[in-house]
Amino acid sequence: MQYVRNPGHHIIRAFAALSVGWLAGCAVLEAPTVHDHLHKSRQAHGLNTCINNFTVMDRVTETVADAEAARIPGFPYLRVNRFLASFANSKLHGKAFTRWLTHLRTLDRQARKYEFSNLPAQTQARLKNLPGQLERCAARLMAHDSQNEGIRRRLIKAARAPDSYQRWAQVAGLYPLSVIPVRFGIMHLQKRQRNDFQTVQQPGDLNVYTPITNATYDPKIIQAIFHRAKPDALGIPLFENGDLKHLVSMSAPVIQVIEKSNDDKPGHMMYGTNGTLQIDTSRPVLYHRLAFTRFRGRVLTQLVYTVWFPARTAQGPLDIFAGTLDGIMWRVTLDEDGRPMVYDTIHPCGCYHLFFPVKPWALAAAEQHGFFGEPPIAPIPGPLLAKGQRVHISLKPATHYVSGVSAKQTDHNNARRYRLTPASTLRSLKHPTGSKSLYGPNGLIDISARPERFLLWPMGVPSAGTMRQWGHHATAFIGTRHFDDADLFERILTRKR
């Protein structure tokens, strides 16, 4: 996924090619040469039964499909995300290709595990042997496809993560015109966001949430962890399980929020006995995930933390941004020695993206002042952590806007302790009928839909304001930007002397 610098030109081209594009898109899907070649080669090696097995599973799990990683046409045993898609080029070969293929297989295996677990119990019982068959089939397909140069080239070309924008909506919504009032709205929002960091918070019931673990930032321990993490053939660091757990604990933030209602209490995501989605605020949780990005030829480690709130409280009868569920995603991007390089945050809808580059890094002037696209905003520099400190994040009540970021010692007195839980658990939660994902097959949490979607649909973001799954966070209304773009920081960061 490329960061589009000139979205106006991009959309104008979409207008000019609308009819042709739709027809061409159908032609690509139905092109016989790609699938005929794959079909004949696999048929010759007796792999048709394997393809049929994957087809059966896909049909059975259609209503519980997991959308975190994208499927790859012609390769039903693999899936791809934006990070892995960034490696798909003509230079990918040898051990790097083999390792890349293994990562793609892992994404599909994980998704199918959750999809199968979310099926009704009777369906699981009927198909109990199918997951094992798929695993064996995947091994055979990987061995066959990786030995065929033509198929390898086809896979590299097909391994693309689609962007999270609907071009038809931008065309139908007259994007070049609709974007004008949106641009003024964003300018007003960013001015208000900058002011939030210069304003003392109103007095109120300040609740402080700290992790149960007492492990805090220690640069020597973190550096040792990174030195033990040997990179694979793609340059991705391989952390030992104990080291990764320690890294997540030391980097977890402190959350400070003024409580004006129950909506300002973070909690544990769950389905109730009646099957409705609930947040148990008696059990605060921070969900975490490991991610990676690319920067100047290197792979950097990212730690992503998400806190969920029951709702965003309406500020009036016509508040189009209020609704069920709200939250904050906080990401720490570490350099090769484990030092924080840049922090950034969004809400789980992909909205309100803020950057906090740690000196000597800063936002590039060309990106901040570019005419096309939505300029990134860095209200303040990222804090420099010292041994024993944590990042403290201050949130406003009701809206949960980030209004302060600092580094200081953690005071556990009168603090509420939260648990750290893998974000992957949200892909299959306990449900009265068995288990169910937090997310729909489209990657959205439908009950969190906001009225703003009826105004902002011409920007192309599906159901703007709705909370969504990792891999679906479009973070700009003007232009194209995703939270998980592999080249995001390479595009927007510069080193200041």
Give the H/E segment covering residue 407: strand 402-409
Alpha-carbon distance values, 254 to 70, 94, 358, 382, 392 (Å): 33, 44, 18, 15, 5
Per-residue confidence band for 397, with pLDDT thresholds at 50, 70 and 90:
very high
Q: What is the Cβ-side half-sphere exposure of residue 151, based on CA atoms within 13 angstroms?
A: 21
Backbone φ and ψ for 214, nearest 5 degrees, come out as -95, 0
In a domain, 406, yes or no: yes
What pLDDT sits at residue 205?
77
* Least confident stretch, 1-10, 290-299, 426-435: 1-10
Per-residue confidence band for 11, with pLDDT thresholds at 50, 70 and 90:
very low
Domain boundary among 126, 158, 190: 158
Alpha-carbon distance values, 422 to 236, 326, 339, 358, 406 (Å): 20, 18, 22, 26, 25
SS3 content of the chain, % helix, strand, coil (to 5): 40, 25, 35
What pLDDT sits at residue 57?
97
Distance CA 393, CA 108 (A): 35
Tell me which residue of 301, 286, 304, 297 sits closest to 339, measured CA to CA.
Answer: 301
In a domain, 416, yes or no: yes
The mean pLDDT of the chain is 90
Distance CA 403, CA 257 (A): 10
304 and 441 both lie in a single domain: yes
Per-residue confidence band for 386, with pLDDT thresholds at 50, 70 and 90:
very high
Backbone φ and ψ for 23, nearest 5 degrees, come out as -65, -40
Backbone φ and ψ for 371, nearest 5 degrees, come out as -75, -45
What pLDDT sits at residue 16?
42
* 449, 466 contact by CB (below 8 A): yes
The stretch 310-339 carries a mean pLDDT of 97
Task: Render pLDDT for 111-145 as a digit per residue (tens, 0 to 9).
Answer: 999 999 999 999 999 999 999 999 999 999 999 99
Does 413 score more than 90 pLDDT? no
**Torsion sign, CA atoms 20, 25, 31, 37:** positive
N-term to C-term CA, the chain: 30
In a domain, 208, yes or no: yes
The stretch 100-108 carries a mean pLDDT of 98
CB atoms within 10 A of CB 347: 25
Distance CA 272, CA 275 (A): 5
In a domain, 6, yes or no: no
In a domain, 10, yes or no: no
In a domain, 231, yes or no: yes
Going by the DSSP 8-state scheme, the letter that residue 444 receives in this structure is B
What pLDDT sits at residue 357?
98
Sort residue 322 into left (φ over 0), alpha (ψ -120 to 50) or beta: beta
Distance CA 481, CA 317 (A): 32
Tell me which residue of 36, 66, 95 sits closest to 442, measured CA to CA.
Answer: 66
What pLDDT sits at residue 6?
41
85 and 225 both lie in a single domain: no
124 and 187 both lie in a single domain: no
141 and 195 both lie in a single domain: no
Distance CA 27, CA 180 (A): 35
In a domain, 338, yes or no: yes
245 and 283 both lie in a single domain: yes
Distance CA 456, CA 159 (A): 30
What pLDDT sits at residue 10?
43
What pLDDT sits at residue 369?
54
What pLDDT sits at residue 262?
97
**Torsion sign, CA atoms 100, 103, 109, 114:** negative
261 and 295 both lie in a single domain: yes
* 152, 90 contact by CB (below 8 A): no
Backbone φ and ψ for 14, nearest 5 degrees, come out as -65, -40
Domain boundary among 158, 192, 227: 158
* Least confident stretch, 30-34, 232-236, 381-385: 30-34
Does 108 score more than 60 pLDDT? yes
Tokens 């990179």 identify what position? Answer: 231
What pLDDT sits at residue 368?
59
In a domain, 16, yes or no: no
Does 171 score more than 80 pLDDT? yes
Per-residue confidence band for 158, with pLDDT thresholds at 50, 70 and 90:
very high
Q: What percentage of the chain has pLDDT greater than the value 90? A: 83
CB atoms within 10 A of CB 370: 15
What pLDDT sits at residue 241?
85
Give the number of domains in the chain.
2
Tell me which residue range forms the domain holding 113. 31-158
Residues 6+ apart with CB under 8 A from 349: 448, 450, 464, 465, 466, 467, 468, 473
442 and 306 both lie in a single domain: yes
The stretch 171-176 carries a mean pLDDT of 94
* 177, 386 contact by CB (below 8 A): no
466 and 354 both lie in a single domain: yes
Does 461 score more than 70 pLDDT? yes
For residue 481 the two structure tokens come to 């930007």
Task: Render pLDDT for 204-247 as a digit per residue (tens, 0 to 9).
Answer: 678 999 999 888 999 999 999 999 999 999 999 999 889 999 99
The stretch 424-436 carries a mean pLDDT of 97
56 and 190 both lie in a single domain: no
241 and 149 both lie in a single domain: no
Distance CA 101, CA 84 (A): 10
What pTM was computed for the model? Answer: 0.91
384 and 484 both lie in a single domain: yes
Task: Render pLDDT for 326-371 as a digit per residue (tens, 0 to 9).
Answer: 999 999 999 999 999 999 999 999 999 999 999 999 999 866 555 5
Tokens 């929002």 identify what position? Answer: 189
147 and 211 both lie in a single domain: no
